Every structure is written in C-alpha cells, then in structure tokens.
A and B are shown apart, each in its own frame.
Chain A
Amino acid sequence: MERQVLLDKLSEFLMVEQGGLELYRVAASRAEIPELRQRYEEFGRQTARHREVLTRLIQQLGGDPNYVSPTARAAQVKAAKLVESALVVDGLAPIEIQISDLENVLLAETKDHADWQLLSQLATQPIDDAVKQAVAAAVKEVEQEEDRHVEWARQTLGQLCLQMVTQGPAPSPERWMMVTSGPVPPIETLNPSPVLDGLLPPAKEPAWQEATVARAMRAGA
C-alpha cells in the first residue's frame, strides 16, 4: 500500500470537511426557511465531528493532521469558490438565493460522500490490517450521516425547485435587469433628463447582443 498517497487523500478529505463546515455556516446564517436553517446547523455540527474523526484517523495512520497535501489545497480552492459563489447573488430573488445555497451544499456533500465511499472501499482491500481496521472504524462512525447529508440535499433541492415551478411565487422576470445596465428598464425611469442629442451612430445601435451561449452555438464552439 502507498501510505503517502493515502495520507495525501486523507488530508484532502479533511479539507473537504472543513470547506463543508464553512459552507454550512454561510448557508445557515442566511437561511430564511426554518427547516433549512435547522438542517444546516445540525449537519454542520456533524461535519465538525467528521473533521475530528478524520484528524484521529490521520494520527492513527502515523500522519500529521497539520500536513496540507497538494490535493487538499486544490480541494480548498474548490470549496472557497463554492462559498464565493454564494456572494454573487445580486439579481436573485430571496428564494433563489436559498436554492443556490442548497445547490452548493449538494455539490459539496456529493464530493464529501464520494470521499467516504472511497474509504469504505479501501477497507475491503487487501491492505495492512491495522490500516484497514482504523479506516473501517472511521467509516462506520460517519458513513450513515454522510448518506443522509447528500440524500437530504438532493431531495430538498428537488422539492424546492418543483414547488417553485408548480406553485410559485414567481420572481419578477426583470429582477436581474434591476442590477444590470442596459435598455431595460427605460433610462427615463432612472434619470429625469437623459441626453439624447449629439450622439454618434454607434450609440443608436442595439445595446445588447445575443447571449454568450447563442453566440457560441452559432460559432460552433
């Protein structure tokens, strides 16, 4: 068995737990739906415990929990980008912000779940008995909660989206236009005296072009 590879992966998994914990904090702090907030807080506490389990496992295998492997650094960046995306919410309706946060949780928990599945599989491989036992004990302590986290996120996200489509309320279709410039809403609603004379021909052309996706499709890209 390549012990260093395992320690590198465990360092990465530890970072994934840390990233998940930070994501739960952000999501809980602005969850307006009580059930969501309650779950985020509960799962956050469990994630903190999973972090402890992994720390113990690393020590049992002779590793250093302070060691940050290259893949852990990559995992940290991905987690940070997820949390960062939670900041780019201008133009989203409150319910869409809730859904976006939950989607981030699902993405993070999907990776987290895959990590523990991998450890579960490792415990069935012909490897050193002491390693096998330590990994199996950690998996036993955590696996069910991880199953629950990812499943809850998947189901709840689906329910919220379905509910929004079937029952509403529908956010204003112009909501993003309120935070972005352009021809909508008309400038007169924002400026009592827009300058319309003395302009050159390019200023009279349409202000918006086709969206990026349409342009990419047209270009075959």
Chain B
Amino acid sequence: MAQAATLNPWREKGIPLEKQYRSWYAGLKAPYAKYDVDAYTRCRIILMNGLENEVILNSHNFARCAGDRVVRELLAQTRMVEHQQQTTINWLNPADQSILETTIAFEQVAVDLTAYLARNEPDPYLREVLNFGLLEDFDHLYRYSELLDYIEGKDANSILQSKTEILPARPTSDHHNMPMLRLRKHYEKNRALPVSRLHVLTLMAAEQETLNYYKEHGWQYADDLARALYAEIAEVEEEHVTQYESLMDPTETMLERQVMHELMEVYNYFHCYQNETDPRIRQIWDEFLHMELTHLQLWGEMLRKCEGQDPEVLFGEELKVEFKFTENKEYVRRVIDQQRDLRLVAPDGWMMKDQLPADWPSREFMAVVNADGIPSEQIVERQQQRRAGDDLLQRARQVKIQQDAMGARMGGR
C-alpha cells in the first residue's frame, strides 16, 4: 500500500534560482547500466524526461502569448533550468539501450503510471478514462515485445524485469477511433481535487513524450513491419494525448497552468526522491526537487501578483504524494477482465463492443486505417510463423508460472 508523504510546497526551502544553472559537464551524469538498473529507476528517468519536456513546451507556448516582460523573463529563466534538467535526465539513458528496448520501457511507464494513478484517482469519471487508456498501452507493450523478439531476439523481460506483464489486452487494431470520440468530459477546476488535476497533467505529459518518441524514432528501423508498427502505435498515442488533454478544464489561465506544471514537477520529483533505490540518481531527484520548489514558489507569487489568486487556495496548502512506481499486475488483469471489450462512444461515454450501433463512427475510421493490413496483428502472425509453439506470450506465461511457484516456495511476497 502507498505510504503518502506530505510537504508544504509553498514554504519548503528550495535552491535559489540564480544558483540553478550548471556547466556542460556538471550537468551530464554517467548513464545507468541497462541490465543492472532497476526497471522502475529507468521508468522514473523516462517519466521525468517527459515531464520536463512538457514543462518546456508549455513555457514556450506561454511565452508566445505573454505580453508582460516580467512574466517572459521568469519564463526564460526557469525554462533554461528545465532545459538543463531535461538534458541531465535524458542523458542518463545509455547509448547501448536500443530504440526498441527504450520503447519497452516507455510502455512500462505508461502501464504502471496509468494503473497506479487510476487506483488512486478519486474522480470516478477520470479513473475510467485512465483505465481505458491503460488497456491500450498494455496491449502496445505486448506488440512491441513481439517486435523486440523479432528484431533483436531479446526477451522484453530483460527490460521489464517481470514487474509488468506481457499479455494481449484490448487489441491495438481496435484502438483507432474517429478522433472526436476521444474527447472526454473535463474536470471542473473550482471543485476538482488538486491531485486529480496533477494526475491528468502528469499522464498527459507522459503520453505526449511517448508520442514524440515514437514519431521521432519509428523511422529509424529498416524493417518495414517495425516502421509500420511504430506508425500505428504512434497514432494511438496521438489519440491518447487528445484524450488526456481533453480532461483539463479549458478555462484555466496560462498562469494557472504554469503553476500547475511546476506543482506537477514537485509532486513527481518528490516521489522519485522517496522511492529511488540508486543513491546516485536519488541525489539528482533531490536536487531537482529543490530547484522546482523555487520555481513553484516564484510562479505562485506571480499568480498572486498578476491574477490576485492565492496558489494555496487553488492547489491546497499541503501536497500529499501518493504515487510510486510499483507492480499493478492484479489490477491490470482485473481491468482486462472487465473492460477488454469496452469501446468509446460519443458523447463522453463507453459501451461494450457487442452493443455498439451499426453506425459507430470508429468503424468507418478503422476501415480506412486498417485497409492495407494491421501491423500490430502482422507482428504477432509473423512471430507465430517464425516460432511455432514457442511464441513470446507462451514463454512469458511460463516465466510467470515459475515466478509464482518460486514465490510460493519463499512463503509469498
């Protein structure tokens, strides 16, 4: 069970802004060893890299429509720090970790982040949106695991360390929706809990980074099926970003969003710091947490000054941090059992596959995108042909049975 830790983000002492810039070499740390690193340390690195990129892009967007030089100056200052932080974090990934291995880790982030956020989410509607996306990322993990085996002959568990299961869920071929169906109801900013808003922003940022990663790297494989699978799953990630960003209240101001972004960073660096097992990397989380506390307080003051709103009133005096990367196997299986056949319907709801009307808009969309073959199905078929009787899923299940047996011998977990 999660052990919540609490901090007062508006009063906790941070690192002064003028002391946050680093030299080229001070900012670059040695990469982790890809087979030695804890899977969830790698997940934290991927997550925080994505969050930093989101904060940087949001800051640029804000700067492009901020008419006040004081605001633009603070944006420029804090953004440069975010840039350096992002570089430090992303450069922790080792050069010998292939694009596909990193992809497996991205999907592990997506699965265990979404699952744990959903398990903690008080808003029942938001929780179901998260559950819906969870099963899709879970299925992507299975398809990419097959691709990893096909292209590199590697078991995805070398990356996942058996902390996240490899099983089919809602088939990726069914993830392609008429785009407007992805639009969901948004939270109401006056009444939504700060934690709900942080969950949405965190997940949206993580999915945006996943989308960008697939778009930026999918072309780097010479194999046609690999290229096609990246193209197909990248498009689902595009749908996911549409889905999660639609959960945000559109009446939030740019300044309010800026404070939220900083608070999201504090929230996430804090759980990274609390749960990190590698002392060297823990030190990075600690340092960045204290940088972000300063950013948050500076932007909180700006909100007070420019919009007359107290950040403590908007987001609460205290920040309770519940999240951690951990196994969610039972929960994911439960969601698969209940919601594998769930599909999106307009407006804002869901329906079981066998109840869908004949004119369900996504049928038409799928007929177009799936017309010339479905890469996510083709990779499984090709694997079955290649390794008849020895498919990845079968092997993954075998590993699971062995682990369970070992766990039972050791007296359970």
Interface residues, chain A, with chain B CB atoms under 8 Å away: 77, 88, 90, 176, 178-183, 186-187, 190-195, 197-213, 215-216, 219, 221
- Add 8 more A-B contacts to A195-B118, A202-B120, A212-B190 (CB < 8 A): A179-B348, A192-B355, A193-B342, A195-B131, A198-B331, A202-B322, A208-B188, A212-B189
Q: State the Cβ distance, B55 to closest chain A Cβ, in Å.
A: 24
| CB < 8 Å neighbour of A181 from B188, B313, B351 | B188
Residues in chain B near residue A221, CB distance under 8 A: 309-310, 313
- Whether the Cβ atoms of B128 and A195 lie closer than 8 Å is yes
Q: Whole-angstrom distance between the alpha carbons of A190 and B119 in the complex?
A: 19
**How many residue pairs, one in A and one in B, have C-beta atoms under 8 Å apart?**
134
| B192–A182 CB distance below 8 A | yes
Within 8 A of A (CB), among B324-379: 330-331, 334-335, 338-339, 342, 348-352, 355
Task: Write out the residue numbers on chain B whose beta carbons fall within 8 Å of the beta carbon of A201.
Answer: 1-2
Nearest CB in chain B: distance from A181 CB, A: 4
**Cα separation A151 to B185 with both chains bound (whole Å):** 39
Residues of B within 8 A of A198 (CB): 119, 330-331, 334
Q: Can you list 28 A-B pairs with a CB-CB distance of less than 8 A? A: A77-B67, A179-B186, A179-B348, A180-B186, A180-B187, A181-B125, A181-B129, A181-B196, A182-B191, A182-B192, A183-B123, A187-B125, A187-B127, A190-B125, A191-B342, A192-B342, A193-B342, A195-B331, A195-B339, A202-B121, A202-B322, A206-B122, A207-B124, A207-B196, A208-B123, A212-B314, A219-B313, A221-B309
Answer yes or no: B23 CB below 8 A from chain A CBs. no
A-facing mask of B110-135, CB < 8 A → 1, else 0?
00000000111111111111010000
Q: Which residues in B have their C-beta under 8 angstroms from that of A179?
A: 185-186, 348
Judge whether B195 is part of the interface by a CB distance below 8 angstroms. Answer: yes
Q: Which residue from chain A places its CB closest to the CB of B247 in the assembled complex?
A: A181
Convert B232-263 into 0s and 1s, putting 1 for each residue whose CB lies closer than 8 angstroms to a CB of A: 00000000000000010111000000000000
Residues of B within 8 A of A202 (CB): 2, 4, 120-122, 195, 320, 322
Interface residues of B in 200-252 (CB under 8 A from A): 247, 249-251
- B residues in contact with A197, CB < 8 Å: 334
CB-CB under 8 A from B349, the residues of chain A are 190-191
Chain A residues with CB under 8 Å of B351's CB are 192
Chain A min CB distance to B169 (Å): 13
Q: Which of B125, B128, B195, B250 has the most CB of A within 10 A?
A: B125
Once the chains are docked, how many angstroms separate the CA of A129 from the CA of B251?
Answer: 50
B residues adjacent to A (C-beta < 8 A): 1-2, 4, 67, 118-129, 131, 184-193, 195-196, 247, 249-251, 309-310, 312-314, 320, 322, 330-331, 334-335, 338-339, 342, 348-352, 355
Bound Cα distance from A5 to B350, whole angstroms: 60
**Nearest-neighbor residue (CB-CB) of A197 within chain B:** B334
User: Which residues of chain B have C-beta atoms less than 8 A from A90's C-beta?
Assistant: 250
With A190-B350, A212-B313, A219-B312: A180-B185 Cβ-Cβ less than 8 Å: yes
Question: B67 — nearest CB in chain A belongs to which residue?
Answer: A77
Is B122's CB under 8 angstroms from A194's CB?
Answer: no
Give Cα distance in the complex from A190 to B351, angstroms: 8
In the complex where A187-B128, A200-B2 touch, is A209 in contact with B193 (Cβ < 8 A)? Answer: yes
Tell me the bound Cα distance from A24 to B187 in angstroms. 31
How far is A64 from B119 in the complex, measured between Cα atoms in Å? 63
Q: How far is the CA of A178 from the CA of B4 in the complex (A)?
A: 32
Question: Shortest beta-carbon distance, B49 to chain A, in Å?
Answer: 26
A192 touching B312, Cβ below 8 Å: no
How distant is the Cα of A206 from the Cα of B121 in the complex, in angstroms? Answer: 10
Contact of B334 among A195, A207, A211, A213 (CB under 8 A): A195
A190 to B1, CA, bound (A): 29
CB distance from A104 to the nearest CB of B (A): 15
Cβ A211 vs Cβ B195 within 8 A: no
Which residues from chain A contact B187 at a C-beta distance below 8 Å?
180-182
A173 CB to closest chain B CB (Å) equals: 14
Query: B188 touching A176 by the CB < 8 A rule?
Result: yes
Chain A residues with CB under 8 A of B334: 195, 197-198
Q: How far is the CA of A203 from the CA of B117 in the complex (A)?
A: 9
Shortest 3 CB-CB contacts between residues of A and residues of B: A181-B125, A180-B188, A187-B124
> In the complex, which of the residues A88, A186, A203, A208 contacts B127, with contact meaning CB atoms closer than 8 Å?
A203
User: How far is B280's CA from A202's CA once the two chains are assembled, in angstroms?
Assistant: 31
Give every chain B residue within 8 A of A194 (Cβ-Cβ).
124, 127-128
Give B148 Cβ to nearest chain A Cβ, in Å: 29
- Measured CB to CB, the closest approach of chain A to B344, in angstroms, equals 11
Closest Cβ of chain B to A158, distance in Å, is: 26
Choose one: A182, A199, A205, A215; the contact of B119 (CB below 8 Å).
A199
Cα–Cα distance between A35 and B122 once the two chains are bound (Å): 47
Contact A215 B188 (CB under 8 A): no
Q: Given the complex, which residues of B lie within 8 Å of A219, measured CB to CB?
A: 310, 312-313
Chain A residue numbers with a CB within 8 Å of B350 are: 190-192
Q: Which residues of A contact B1 (CB under 8 A)?
A: 200-201
Interchain CB contact under 8 A, A204 and B124 = no
Bound complex: CA A190 to CA B339 (Å): 13
Task: Tell whether, in the assembled complex, residue B352 and residue A193 are in contact, meaning their CB atoms are under 8 Å apart.
Answer: yes
Q: Is the CB of A200 within 8 A of B322?
A: yes
Q: Which of B124, B247, B330, B348 contacts A183 (CB 8 A)?
A: B124
How far is it, in angstroms, between the C-alpha of A184 and the C-alpha of B71 when the chains are bound? 38
Q: Is the CB of A181 within 8 A of B190?
A: no
> B2 to chain A: which residues have CB within 8 Å?
200-202
